[in-house]
């Protein structure tokens, strides 16, 4: 009980990797979930972590991963529900149905399956309770041009967060969401060269180090369970968000 535990999905790169390393450095027990075992081991490096290769869109693999956590540690204190994907921007009629199904499988079904498994474990464990932190997006509030699939999926994540925040109260489970804008990584690699704006312009956008996101998730996770941060936005200061539209 002295060492707290977290399971991080999408831990093989980007935000997931940076967050995992922040929690390892802070002395947490960390479980890493992702499709590629080699990437998860690169995240852990020389540090001890529970490596759980799994596809979050597969119910059996999700249940097996959370079952390993329960078997190894006996409890789970925090889920960082982080795994997600995006598509190249395009009008809705130019988006292949297969691409939508792939994105919604990760960003919606995967989020649901991992939240479901974590909620069940946290509800049954003793002492009861825990925290679920969903990775949303600024697009959950203000969409980019040509972002229908991603924006739809992140609005769904917001609905998940709000519903779990209510349902979790009786089981000592808190649920919050981090909405991230322009953290440097693979998904934002082209932002500095120009991104389409709502007025039709192409404009370079600033990025922020991903470490700031990791530190924010660590802060959210470290709060006592009678305190919740339902939504937090962290962004590169000068990105077009408040003025987007």
Which helix (H) or strand (E) segment holds residue 108: the answer is none
User: For residue 228, which of 131, 108, 119, 125 has the smallest C-alpha distance?
Assistant: 131
What is the gyration radius of the CA atoms in the chain, in angstroms?
Answer: 17
DSSP string spanning 149-175?
HHHHHHHHHHHHHHHHHHHTGGGTEEE
Token pair, residue 172, equals 């000592």
Helix (H, G, I), strand (E, B) or coil at 196: strand
Residue 152: CB atoms within 10 Å? 18
Residue 129: CB atoms within 10 Å? 17
Catalytic residue selected from 52, 150, 154, 173: 150
Can you list the alpha helix ranges (DSSP code H) found in 95-147? 97-104, 111-124
Buried b (16+ CB within 10 A) or exposed e, 37-63: eebbeebbeeeebbbbbbbbbbeebbe
Q: Is 150 a catalytic residue?
A: yes
Please list the active-site residues: 150
């Amino acid at each position: 009980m002295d060492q707290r535990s977290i399971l991080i999905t999408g831990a093989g790169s980007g935000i997931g990797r940076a967050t995992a390393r922040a929690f390892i450095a802070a002395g947490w027990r960390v479980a890493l979930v992702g499709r590629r075992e080699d990437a998860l081991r690169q995240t852990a490096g020389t540090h001890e972590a529970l490596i759980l290769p799994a596809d979050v869109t597969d119910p059996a693999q999700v249940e097996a991963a959370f079952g390993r956590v329960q078997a190894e540690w006996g409890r789970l204190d925090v889920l960082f529900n982080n795994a997600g994907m995006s598509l190249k921007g395009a009008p809705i009629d130019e988006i292949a149905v297969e691409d939508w199904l792939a994105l919604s499988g990760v960003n919606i079904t995967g989020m649901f399956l991992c939240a479901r498994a974590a909620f069940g474990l946290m509800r049954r464990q003793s002492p009861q309770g825990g925290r679920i932190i969903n990775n949303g997006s600024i697009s959950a509030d203000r969409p980019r041009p040509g972002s229908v699939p991603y924006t739809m999926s992140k609005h769904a994540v917001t609905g998940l967060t709000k519903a779990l925040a209510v349902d979790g109260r009786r089981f000592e489970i808190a649920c919050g969401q981090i909405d991230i804008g322009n953290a440097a990584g693979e998904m934002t690699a082209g932002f500095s060269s120009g991104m389409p704006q709502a007025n039709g312009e192409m404009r370079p956008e600033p990025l922020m180090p991903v470490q700031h996101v990791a530190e924010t998730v660590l802060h959210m996770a470290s709060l006592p369970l009678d305190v919740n941060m339902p939504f937090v936005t962290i962004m590169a200061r000068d990105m077009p968000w408040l003025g987007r539209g």
